[in-house]
Amino acid sequence: MNKLMKLSGLATLGASAMASLPAWAQEATEAAAETATEAAAEVAPVMDKGDVAWMMISTVLVLTMIIPGLALFYGGLVRSKNMLSVLMQCTLITAVMMIVWVVYGYSFTFGGGTGAYFGGFGKLFLSGVGVTSTATTFDAGYILPEYVFIAFQMTFAAITPALIVGAFAERVKFSAVVLFTILWATFVYFPVAHMVWDVSGLLYGWGALDFAGGTVVHINAGIAALVGCIMIGKRIGFGKDNMAPHSMTLTLVGAALLWVGWFGFNVGSNLEADENAALAMINTFTATAGAIVAWVLVEAIGRGKASMLGAASGMIAGLVAVTPAAGTVGPVGAIALGAIASIVCYFFVTVVKHKFSYDDSLDVFGIHGIGGIIGAIGTGILSADTFGGVKAVADGYSIGGQTWIQVQAVVVTIVWCGVVSAILYKLVDMIVGLRVSGDQEREGLDTTSHGESAYHY
Amino acid sequence: MKLIIAAIKPFKLDEVREALTTIGVRGMMVTEIKGFGSQSGHTEIYRGAEYAVNFVPKVRLEIVVADALADQVVETIAKTAKTDKIGDGKIFVLDVEQAVRVRTGETGDDAL
């Protein structure tokens, strides 16, 4: 095809792209200014096939994070009689959320509405979006097919509710999980994602830095998990029965798939395959490494023996912590971030959980919630070039100022999520009931909820 | 003939089997079991929380031997399976009324 024809075609696309502007937190103001100048300067937007290919891969990597990554990670941690229930919940949440996202989730989050909390009804059923629709990236003039952006964000919307179920594993009712997922996505995930990642969003406007979803995904899931496990109550036999993981082997397989998939999560959040993506990539390695080593060391000292469960937990803690920071901190700073988050998470899952006696079965709050909080706040500090980050203090980046914004963003997320989740749990409990019966719980969810067994010895 | 039933720690099985073959035992049946004894259960710490371990994996041996060999079998098992730590196990001796070798039909001591 004639290059000129291609460019003029893209120019028309570019014009329609301006009308649908999903953009991201940190580059917000700069991108907005650049877009305005760009419209004036008439540079045809470029759809780089390398960017598109990378984003497609990233999207599929994030799907892999949910199934089988999270599914096996959680599955291995529960008792064998409940293995299938975990796999089912992860699979169903994924499927249900994909449908919800396409029907109204994308619209509520990125629909183009100018509300601070709500993206509007403009793209219900993806109306107005076609094969030629485009989405902007952080760099003015570079675009993606809007379907790619929708799909990428769809996997984020799917994984977040899936994370929550770990908190009330082995006792939650299947129908409650599905119903809660839909309600929670509608009243918590979409609004918070809009607030953080959409141009009109409240926290976006404050300048909060959340590269790949420390608040939107991890703190959100962590708080919903904490509220949920407290409201649903402890497992029968908690503190007395042996509830050790039935397969640490599968848990490690799941954790490793999560780590690999996380490159799609973090690096894909750059929306382009460029030097900033490279930064996100290396951070996703170093922070995780720092976190694993830190957890293993602390456990070896504190408990006498380092365990695979600890190492896997440390891995996830580091990944969670680097999620908001991946695109702005330096690789060595990332090691510190991962290590600190890991140690704090260790403290929460061993000491705090025991002290306050809540049964957060798979440590969703302890790792995703706490890791997300540490990561979000740490981002404010370590993004400064003083610590190897990309934000130049000389250009006016204030560590104190940014960290304060981060704290506020964290608090807003915690309060919104905590309050609304509590209401929704209560509602779901009234409609279908949150918990299975005592006998069903003792026998196991696989046979009682799903009529099948994971293993046949 | 005597039936000797012994519960021992699983990792001791190979040692015990070898020692018994040395003294002339030519067969045994082994089952994996869970159990607890007089020091029933202990607590373990997992993820900072204590929980009681009520049942511990053990291995159950069943050996039928001629009366003459019985005492030696008991002694051998007791000596080889011992680790001087709690949960080493127990040995019981019962009388056997009859034994038959399926392939040949031999009975009594000839079946062993």
Which of B44, B49, B54 has its CB closest to that of A354? Answer: B49
In Å, what is the CA distance from A92 to each residue of A40, A96, B90?
Answer: 47, 6, 50
CB contact under 8 A, B47 and A241: no
Question: Which residues of chain B does A350 touch, with a Cβ-Cβ cutoff of 8 Å?
Answer: 47-48
CB contact under 8 A, A239 and B45: no
Centre a 10 Å sphere on the Cβ of residue B39 and count the other Cβ atoms it contains: 8
Which of A242, A244, A354 has its CB closest to that of B48? Answer: A354
Question: Which residues of chain A does B52 touch, with a Cβ-Cβ cutoff of 8 Å?
Answer: 240-241
Q: Chain A residue closest to B47 (CA)?
A: A350
Question: Which residues of chain B does A351 touch, with a Cβ-Cβ cutoff of 8 Å?
Answer: 48
Question: What pLDDT does A25 receive?
Answer: 44
Which of A240, A242, A351 has its CB closest to that of B48? Answer: A351
The pTM assigned to this predicted structure is 0.86
CATH number of the CATH domain containing B80: 3.30.70.120
In 3D space, the residue among B29, B16, B17, B89 whose CA is nearest the CA of residue B58 turns out to be B89
Q: How far is A243 from chain B (nearest CA, A)?
A: 8
Q: Are B34 and B56 in contact (CB under 8 A)?
A: yes
CA–CA separation, B78 and A394 (whole Å) = 78
Probe site for chain B from A229, A234, A240 (most B CB atoms < 10 A): A240
CB contact under 8 A, A353 and B53: no
Centre a 10 Å sphere on the Cβ of residue A107 and count the other Cβ atoms it contains: 25
User: What percentage of chain B reaches a pLDDT higher than 70?
Assistant: 89
Domains and CATH numbers, chain A: 9-20+39-450 (1.10.3430.10)
Given a cut of 70, whether residue B25 has pLDDT beyond it is: yes
Domain that holds residue B86: 2-111
Average pLDDT estimate for A166-184? 98
Task: Find the length of chain B.
Answer: 112
Question: What pLDDT does A44 receive?
Answer: 85
CA atoms within 13 A of residue B81's CA, in its CB half-sphere? 25
Element (H, E) at A410: helix A399-431
What lies within 8 Å, CB to CB, of B54 at 6+ separation is: A242, B36, B40, B41
Question: Confidence class of residue A69 from pLDDT cuts 50, 70 and 90?
Answer: very high
What lies within 8 Å, CB to CB, of A430 at 6+ separation is: none
In 3D space, the residue among A250, A316, A243, A176 whose CA is nearest the CA of residue B45 turns out to be A243
Judge residue A386's burial from the number of C-beta atoms within 10 Å of its C-beta, 0-12 exposed, 13-18 middle, 19 or more buried: middle
In Å, what is the CA distance from B12 to each residue of A194, A284, B82?
Answer: 62, 46, 8
CB contact under 8 A, A353 and B50: no
| DSSP per-residue codes, A190-226 | HHHHHHHHSTT-HHHHHT---SS-IIIIIIHHHHHHH
Tell me the pLDDT tens digit for each residue of A211-239. 999 999 999 999 999 999 999 999 999 98
Q: How far is B62 from chain A (nearest CA, A)?
A: 23
CB contact under 8 A, A350 and B47: yes
CB contact under 8 A, B51 and A243: yes
Question: What pLDDT does A446 receive?
Answer: 98
- Quote the number of domains for chain B: 1
Question: What pLDDT does A108 receive?
Answer: 98
Question: Confidence class of residue A41 from pLDDT cuts 50, 70 and 90?
Answer: low
Question: Which residues of chain B does A242 touch, with a Cβ-Cβ cutoff of 8 Å?
Answer: 44, 51, 53-54
CA–CA separation, A51 and A118 (whole Å) = 29
In 3D space, the residue among B107, B106, B104, B31 whose CA is nearest the CA of residue B63 turns out to be B31
User: What percentage of chain A reaches a pLDDT higher than 70?
Assistant: 91
Q: Are A51 and A147 in contact (CB under 8 A)?
A: no
**Alpha-helix residue ranges (DSSP H) falling in B27-92:** 67-80
Q: Are A86 and A165 in contact (CB under 8 A)?
A: yes
- Angle at the Cα of A20 from the Cα atoms of A14 and A26, rounded to 5 degrees: 95
Check CB contact of B45 with chain A, cutoff 8 Å: yes
**Alpha-helix residue ranges (DSSP H) falling in A207-274:** 220-232, 248-268
The terminus-to-terminus CA distance of chain B in angstroms comes to 9
Question: What pLDDT does A242 receive?
Answer: 84
Tell me the pLDDT tens digit for each residue of B44-91. 666 666 667 778 899 999 999 999 999 999 999 999 999 998 899 999
CA–CA separation, A228 and A237 (whole Å) = 18
Centre a 10 Å sphere on the Cβ of residue A351 and count the other Cβ atoms it contains: 12
Given a cut of 70, whether residue A14 has pLDDT beyond it is: no
In 3D space, the residue among A404, A327, A421, A283 whose CA is nearest the CA of residue A138 turns out to be A327
Q: Chain B residue closest to A361 (CA)?
A: B47
In Å, what is the CA distance from A128 to each residue of A35, A380, B56?
Answer: 22, 37, 64
In the numeric block, which tokens belong to residue A158? Answer: 């799917």
Question: Confidence class of residue A240 from pLDDT cuts 50, 70 and 90?
Answer: confident
Q: Are A273 and A144 in contact (CB under 8 A)?
A: no
What lies within 8 Å, CB to CB, of A443 at 6+ separation is: A81
Question: What pLDDT does A239 receive?
Answer: 82
Question: What pLDDT does A60 receive?
Answer: 98
**Chain B residues 51-70 with CB within 8 Å of chain A:** 51-54
